[in-house]
A and B are shown apart, each in its own frame.
Chain A
Amino acid sequence: MFSMIRERLRQGRRTIAYPSGDAPTLPDRFRGLPVLDESKCPDGCRSCAEVCPTDAIAWDEGSLRLDLGRCLFCTECLEACPEGAIRYSQDYRLATRKREDLVLRSGRELELARPLEDRLLRLFARSLKLRVVSAGGDASAEADLNVLGTVVFDLGRFGIQVVASPRHADGLVIVGPVTENMKLALRETYAAIPAPKIVIAVGTCAISGGVFRGNPEVNDGVGDLVPVDLYIPGSPPHPMTILDGLIRLLGRLVPGGATDSS
């Protein structure tokens, strides 16, 4: 008993101050929001697009675009680009409401997720129960979703809780590229959640199929299987990226406000 109390005192309080205080410092090598600077691109150079494992980088109508929904946040393009036209920033905020908002272009800001509509906010802002369905993928996004339940992030502070039964849930979190073998279970789980409900796609796999895109055994992500309300890209997304997306959706972060510093 005493050893337990002593250990409790030694381990101390470890919950982060965010969002009322600062977000924790991320490692200097953390790869957050990519920044494009097309003015650095030599004429006709396509090296970044050529090496991108998931073809997240493309040139259309003569301009460089990077689809966060496909990006693995690897370092291939950085190494291929001699000019530094692509770099990663430390910005962990990546979540959007619309799929097309995930497409980055040079000199254009990412349209971060806006809160839910008022009707849904009234229902979910203070209590949101989520059912997570893992549908393929590599289980890393699941791992970092679980991290949100630890004392560090303490998701319960926001009234967000993961529940076992879809019948008890207000929303569905989908991870993985949606394998053929999980398609039915995913649909059934979605159907079992009472309306109104929301859907959150976590990770590059769930958004586009990620590294498994094009494989006949997978569905290239959620696609139009179920309607998605929030996209959280990353392979896997950092826990701060997921947390930011969730509380942004629930209107806990005011765009441009004190807790939304860039």
Chain B
Amino acid sequence: MNDETLLEMRTGRAIPRVRIPRLSFEALRGAIVDAVAKGQRLIAFFGDARDSSEEVDVYAVLADGARALVRVGRATLESDRFPSLTPDCPPAHLFERELAEQYGISPVGHPWFKPVRFHGSYRRGHDAWGRAPGEPPVVGVTDFFRVEGEEVHEVAVGPVHAGVIEPGHFRFQCHGEQVFHLEISLGYQHRGLERTLSGGPNKRTLATMEAVAGDTSIGHATAYSCAVEALAGSRVPLRAEAIRGIALELERLANHTGDLGALAGDVGFLPTASYCGRIRGDFLNLTALLCGSRFGRGLVRPGGIRFDLDAERVGRFQDRLDAAYRDVAGAAALLWDSTSVQARFEGTGIVTADTALALGMVGPAARACGLEGDARQDFPSGIYRFAHVPVSTWSTGDVFARAYVRWLEIQRSVAFIKEQLRALPDGSILADVKALRPEHLVVSLVEGWRGEICHVAMTDATGCFSRYKIVDPSFHNWIGLAMALRDQQISDFPLCNKSFNLSYCGHDL
């Protein structure tokens, strides 16, 4: 596609903002709908405006995985209404609701228009739901989809629900055990994170990135660091890139292992549940061996990393990685060999490839439906430019597929880490980071363990962030969980939920 409507650019490269074409909203809308129909993905769609501004700039970022390019365009909205893209482009559905909530602009014709995180508008005096200023929305109070009928009942769960788990609200429309529809309403974890990033980077920015989703600290810190490095024109030493890759794969290993255990636990298969609960910790402790923190806090920073691996530490690391891998292989094998487990995993919570594609799902949840997207392959950055991790897919789209893709990825992550440890590049681990270039934009993509992490950073005339947009993979995938529950038994919800294991805090920001 060589049309001139959108600017083609590489991820991890900063471009002057002036080069981004400014289209009419109609033209931008048409370009997005067109591109998505041709197989590109909408990876970010967000607004930018000052508190008191009458106008809102709307930015769209599309990913063309086949050509390893992203395409960026923008339009200025002078009115508080715009024609919704969602009827023609379903992946825009949540982006539009977010845009409306943040900037008080309404997507006219949106089929399911309601708040996302239940906070006040960023622009004084503009509210998409006509609420008066100073009238804060009440979380969870909105119109829920209802199925009417004598034998239909509704089950409402959360925000405080069983277990040590983040808060969210789930509403099931049921006929007996059968779920007709599940609606998921979040926002309880909303802590105003994205907005505090404007004006940065400052001394809090990196710690904030590590807290976007605590189980993805390496993923978000890496995406942020890549964005800053691109804006500053810094080159990261190769050794740092390799260790970042190791840490990112360790994060994947820990979480995937924990998920296999949790899935086993949800079908009452205790051996794998208890082994994996522990082995997850072994992988977290490997991250701590590297940097002192089980969650990789303090490891990644703009310019490189803070902790190095000497030969002795590499040796210890390899031994413990081998031991943990042996244990997780044994624990996983029990899952696939056990017919009682397979009977519960197979055919449960199916999402078809068509649905996954139409909704713009990402990560292992999408790969379990047979979609091949993986940012490590499609948009390689850092060490992934030199070391390739094969994409793991399965075709059945059920709980089994989501579990099995994790197991495939565990094997490949271990192989990747071992390869890196065998041949760690020499050199320093941290480069200087100069001031950020003013009036630039960068798109940074990292394949976190849940899927594609997208950061878009824009600087103002002084080189500070004028807008920093974060799209956690969970933002794309919560709707996938809702679809997986259609026509399922409500008792399968915990199992389906675990098979996605999405982030509430990453979604709520």
Chain A residues close to B by CB (< 8 Å)? 3-4, 7-8, 10-11, 14, 26-27, 29-31, 50-54, 72-76, 88, 131-147, 149-152, 162, 164-166, 176-177, 179-182, 185, 188-189, 205, 210-212, 215-218, 235-236, 238-239
Contact = CB atoms under 8 A, between A and B. Distances in A.
A140 B160 contact: no
A135 B167 contact: yes
Given A144-B294, A150-B274, A181 B190 contact: yes
A44 to B, nearest CB: 20
Contact of B334 (A4, A29, A133, A151): A4
B196 A185 contact: no
B281 interface: yes
Interface stretch (B43-51, B212-220, B401-409, B449-457): B212-220
Given A29-B288, A139-B504, A11 B189 contact: no
Contacts of B330: 7, 10-11
Interface in B147-162: 159-162
Contacts of B204: 53-54, 211
A237 B374 CA distance: 33
A11 B136 CA distance: 53
Nearest to B261: A150
Interface in B408-465: none
Nearest to A175: B164
A123 to B, nearest CB: 23
Contacts, number: 185
Contacts of A212: 191-193, 196, 208, 211
A235 B208 CA distance: 12
B164 A3 contact: no
B278 A142 contact: no
B192 A72 contact: no
Interface in B204-251: 204, 206-208, 210-215, 217
Contacts of A216: 192
Nearest to B295: A140
A175 to B, nearest CB: 9
B304 interface: no
A147 B206 CA distance: 26
B118 interface: yes
Contacts of A135: 167, 188
Contacts of B188: 135, 179, 181-182, 185
B385 interface: no
Chain B contact residues: helix, strand, loop or mixed? loop
B277 interface: yes
Contact of A217 (B160, B192, B306): B192
B307 A29 contact: yes
A135 B293 CA distance: 23
Task: Identify the interface centre among A14, A133, A177, A218: most chain B CB within 10 Å of its CB.
Answer: A14
Contacts of A27: 285, 288-289, 292
B80 interface: no
A154 B338 CA distance: 26
Interface in B329-362: 330-331, 333-334, 337-338
Contact of A29 (B139, B292, B333, B338): B292
Contact of B503 (A50, A51, A139, A150): A139
Given A7-B331, A164-B162, A189-B160, A137 B211 contact: yes
Task: Identify the interface centre among A11, A139, A185: most chain B CB within 10 Å of its CB.
Answer: A139
A177 B191 contact: yes
B316 to A, nearest CB: 10
Contacts of A217: 119, 190-192
Closest CB pairs A-B (n = 10) = A140-B214, A138-B214, A29-B292, A217-B192, A164-B162, A150-B277, A181-B139, A138-B211, A27-B288, A53-B204
B298 interface: yes
B186 to A, nearest CB: 9
Contact of A215 (B192, B214, B274, B307): B192
Contacts of B293: 31, 73
A7 B333 CA distance: 10
Task: Identify the interface centre among A146, A165, A217: most chain B CB within 10 Å of its CB.
Answer: A217
B163 interface: yes
Contact of B189 (A8, A152, A176, A236): A176
B328 to A, nearest CB: 10
Contacts of B211: 137-138, 140, 205, 210-212
Contact of B298 (A74, A140, A189): A74
Interface in B469-509: 503-505
Task: Identify the interface centre among A31, A52, A136, A165: most chain B CB within 10 Å of its CB.
Answer: A136
B297 A215 contact: no
Contacts of A52: 203
A215 B210 CA distance: 17
A139 B215 contact: yes
Contacts of B162: 164-165
Given A177-B191, A211-B208, A215-B196, A132 B164 contact: yes
A180 B119 CA distance: 9
B505 A74 contact: no
A142 B166 contact: yes
B119 A182 contact: no
11 contacts: A4-B271, A11-B275, A72-B207, A88-B292, A138-B210, A150-B277, A152-B278, A211-B204, A212-B192, A217-B192, A218-B192
Given A135-B167, A139-B503, A151-B277, A7 B297 contact: no
A183 to B, nearest CB: 9
Contacts of B295: 140, 143, 236
A8 B271 CA distance: 7
Given A140-B215, A215-B196, A238-B294, A182 B334 contact: no
B364 interface: no
Contact of B191 (A3, A189, A215, A238): A215
Contacts of A26: 288
B36 interface: no
Contacts of B190: 136, 179-181, 217
